[in-house]
Amino acid sequence: MIGKLVLEDGTVLSGTARGAQGCATGEVVFNTGMTGFQEILTDPSYCGQIITMTYPLIGNYGVSEIARESRKPYARGFIVRELAERPSHWRSEQTLDGFLKQHNVICLEGIDTRALTRRIREHGTMKGIICTDDSSVETLLTKLRQNVGDVPELVREVSTQQVYRIPGEKQRVVVVDFGCKENILRRLSHYGCDLTVVPAWTSAEEILAYNPDGIFLSNGPGDPKDVPYALDTVKQLIGKKPIFGICLGHQLLGLAFGADTYKLKFGHRGANHPVKDLASGRVYITSQNHGYNVDEQTMDACDLVVTHRGLNDLTVEGMQHRTLPIFSVQYHPEAAPGPQENEYLFVKFMELMTGGTKHA
């Protein structure tokens, strides 16, 4: 069966329909990772997006329970050059095609992913509609353009709906779940943290009532300016407890201190982004997935200093407050493609919660 991808600029690409059947709209983005397709699909930060994988063969090691980052995929669609039909790996439990069907994710195979990626790089991310039925291009383009201005509440879709606890024997940490990856919780648990995970809309008063030693602001999808309730909460938490933010949590901290954020042309999505730690001079290989960034030009008056910088485009990848025990990074240290070289950020958080002063 032939499927179509139609972009809002009128570009049409055809491929073989795999995964689920139907139509879905979303922001079309690309990821340059050679592996990690299951982690990418189940990363809640991809909610509302149609993901293009630039690596030509996807699915060759199959799908396994151990590799998921949330209870289900949140991506609206998936685009690949070639989908492996017979995976080969000792942990493989099912094919990627079967996984996509099971979770109702539409996929197109055989797309010229290089051409699509080049178009996104040249013109920026844009909305698209992926469809496996016989709808005409004109019909799909009309439907897409009618929905281009829609701003869905993505964070509410991916956040936990109720408070839950992961017991530990050391510091009490409240994790504000804007779309938290499970590996973040695993890394915090690895250091013995007693975790209380709360919904994104939890008030500062409720968070502080748990008497935490520290607060963790998680990753999540979309524009940080689309979650004003979360921003208000973060503002009220400043100065009360040590805070560690990742990705959306990082952006919300920037906004809370008075800095601004802006949309990147095509975002950072991949597993090999070089980031320099400005204090040590060391360069780390990082996993990234974000479409927005803190504007460095607006940080000077906020008592925020840049601690990490992306070497591909020199954007802000980490920051900390000059005097308060608050720091954040734009990338995913828990993903650790190094594979353990970004663990020091979790160590820093632990030290801040015990009264230490180590800087990133």
pLDDT digits (tens, 9 = 90+) for 84-129: 999 999 999 999 999 999 999 999 999 999 999 999 999 999 999 9
| 253-285 confidence digits (pLDDT tens) | 999 999 999 999 999 999 999 999 999 999 999
Contact 305, 69 (CB under 8 A): no
* pLDDT tens per residue, range 177-209: 999 999 999 999 999 999 999 999 999 999 999
The pLDDT, as a whole number, for residue 148 is 67
For the question of residue 334 being annotated catalytic, the response is yes
One-letter amino acid at 7 equals L
Question: By percentage, how much of the chain surpasses pLDDT 70?
Answer: 97
Main-chain phi, psi angles of 271, to 5 degrees: -120, 15
β-bridge pairing 172-177 and 194-199: parallel
Whether 357 has a pLDDT exceeding 80, the answer reads no
Burial 228-256 (b: 16+ CB within 10 A, else e): eebbebbbebbeebbbbbbbbbbbbbbbb
6 in Cβ contact with 129 (< 8 Å): yes
Mean pLDDT of the chain: 94
Six-digit token string for 206: 């409720």
- pLDDT over threshold 80, residue 150: no
- Residues 16-27, mean pLDDT to the nearest whole number: 95
126 within 8 A of 24, measured Cβ to Cβ:
no
- Interior/surface letters 178-201, b for 16+ CB within 10 angstroms, e for the rest: bbbbbbbbebbbebebbbbbbbbb
- Domain 2-147: top CATH class: alpha beta
Tell me the one-letter amino acid at 113: T
Q: What confidence score (pLDDT) does residue 294 get? A: 98
Query: What is the per-residue pLDDT for 149?
Result: 63
Question: Is residue 357 helix, strand or coil?
Answer: coil
Confidence (pLDDT) at 339: 65
Instruction: State pTM to two decimals.
Output: 0.95
For helices 182-190 and 344-353, what crossing angle results, to 10°? 60
Give the per-residue pLDDT at 355: 83
| CA pair distance 140, 23, nearest whole angstrom | 9
User: Which residue did the predictor score with more confidence, 51 or 335?
Assistant: 51
Tens of pLDDT, residue by residue over 311-322, are: 999 999 999 999
Q: Which of 247, 268, 273, 317 is catalytic?
A: 247
Residue 327 pLDDT more than 80? Answer: yes
Q: Is residue 360 pLDDT above 50, yes or no?
A: no
Active site residue 39: no
With 70 as the cut, is the pLDDT of residue 308 above it? Answer: yes
227-244 residue pLDDT tens: 999 999 999 999 999 999
Catalytic pick from 39, 69, 317, 334? 334
Give me the residue label for tokens 């008497």: 211
Give yes or no for a contact between 96 and 87, defined as CB atoms under 8 angstroms apart.
yes
359 pLDDT higher than 50 = no
Q: Kindly list the domain boundaries of the chain, sorted by start residue.
A: 2-147, 154-353
Classify domain 154-353 by CATH number: 3.40.50.880
Query: One of 250, 268, 290, 332 is an active-site residue; which one?
Result: 332
Per-residue model confidence (pLDDT) at position 318: 98
| Confidence grade of residue 337 (pLDDT, cut at 50, 70, 90) | confident
Clarify whether 85 is annotated catalytic: no
